[in-house]
Amino acid sequence: MGPPYDTDVEAVCWDWNGTLLDDAAVALTAMNVVLHERALPVLPDVDAYRHVFGFPVQAFYARLGIGDADFRPAAQRYLELFATEVARAPLHDGAGATLSAVGRLGVAQVLISATVPPVLERQMAPHGIARHFDQVLGITDAYAPSKTDVVARWLRSSGHTPERVLMVGDTNHDEEIAEELGVEFVRFARGHQEPPDHDRHPVVRHLRDVVQHVRARAVRSPAEHRPA
C-alpha cells in the first residue's frame, strides 16, 4: 500500500443546475419564451445565453430588457416553463462516475442548490444520484438573491473547516460564495455561465477532472493508514 494522501480535502460541495445537471439548453428555451412574450430579442443559442447569464438574477433579466417592475412576473413565468421541460435535461457526461470516484476516496459530498427543496428533489429523482450526498440542501425562497446563507449554515454545522472544503460550481455566484467563506473553488466551464478571464481558481471542462483535484489532497480514512 502506498503512502497516505498528504492534503486535507474532507468534503466536496456541489452545485446542481449547470454543474451536475446539463440544463442550460432547457433554460435557454424557457427564457426565450419569456422574451418572445414581451416582444424582446431572443437569444440565438446556448453560447449567447452563457455569455449574458450571471448573478444576481435580477441583473441578468435586466440585461435581457426585463426591468425591475416586471422581474417577478417574468421570473415566475420562466420557472413554470423551466419546470415543464427540465426532466429532459441529462446529467453532464461523467457526473455519476465522478460522484462515485469522489466517494471512494472517503470524501463527504453535499449538494447545495439555488432551487427550493421540493423542486430540487423532483429534478434529481430521475437521475438516481441522491445516494452520493450526505445532505441535499436548497433555498427557501425561489426569488432569493443568494444561496450563501445555505452554504454557510451547512459549513458551520458540518464540522469541516473551510480550508478543507472544495466547492464545485459553474457561475460567478458559486465563486463568490467560495471566496466569501474561504473554501477552495473549482469552476466548471460547461454550465450556465462562461468562465471569467481571471485565473484565481482552476477551471475544468470535464467533471472527471474534479477527481484529480480531490485525489491529490484527499484525507485517507483511518483504515487506509494501517500498514499493509
pLDDT of amino acid 3: 34
pLDDT at residue number 198: 87
Please check whether residue 211 is in contact with residue 98, taking contact to mean a CB–CB distance below 8 angstroms.
yes
Q: What is the pLDDT of residue 53?
A: 97
pLDDT at residue 1, as a whole number: 33
pLDDT, residue 23, reads: 98
Q: Specify the pLDDT at position 129.
A: 97
120-160 pLDDT, tens digit per residue, is: 999 999 999 999 999 999 988 776 657 899 999 999 999 99
Q: Which residues pair with 142 in a beta bridge?
A: none
Backbone phi and psi for residue 82, each to the nearest 5 degrees, phi listed first: -60, -40
Q: Taking CA 96 as the corner, what is the angle to CA 99 and CA 94, rounded to the nearest 5 degrees? A: 105
- How far apart, in whole angstroms, are the C-alpha atoms of residue 59 and residue 33? 19
Query: All 3 cell numbers of residue 193?
Result: 455561465
Task: Please state, in angstroms and rounded to a whole number, the distance separating the CA atoms of residues 87 and 26.
Answer: 9
- In angstroms, the CA 135 to CA 132 distance is 9
Q: Is the pLDDT of residue 224 over 60?
A: no
pLDDT at 88 over 60: yes
pLDDT of residue 143: 66
Check residue 223 and give its pLDDT: 42
* CA distances, 60 to each of 10, 162, 180 (Å): 34, 29, 22
* Look-up of cell digits 439548453: 25
Least confident of 86-90, 107-111, 146-150, 155-159: 146-150
**CB contact set of 51 (below 8 Å; sequence gap of 6+):** 194
Average pLDDT of the chain, as a whole number? 90
| Backbone angles phi and psi of 165, in degrees to 5 | -115, 135
Q: Between 91 and 199, whose confidence is greater?
A: 91
Residue 228's pLDDT is 34
Only one residue has cell 425562497, namely: 141
CA–CA separation, 34 and 74 (whole Å): 7
pTM for this prediction: 0.89
What pLDDT sits at residue 215? 83
In three-state secondary structure terms, 153 is helix
The SS3 assignment for 12 reads strand
pLDDT value, residue 218:
54
Task: Give percent of the chain with pLDDT exceeding 90.
Answer: 82
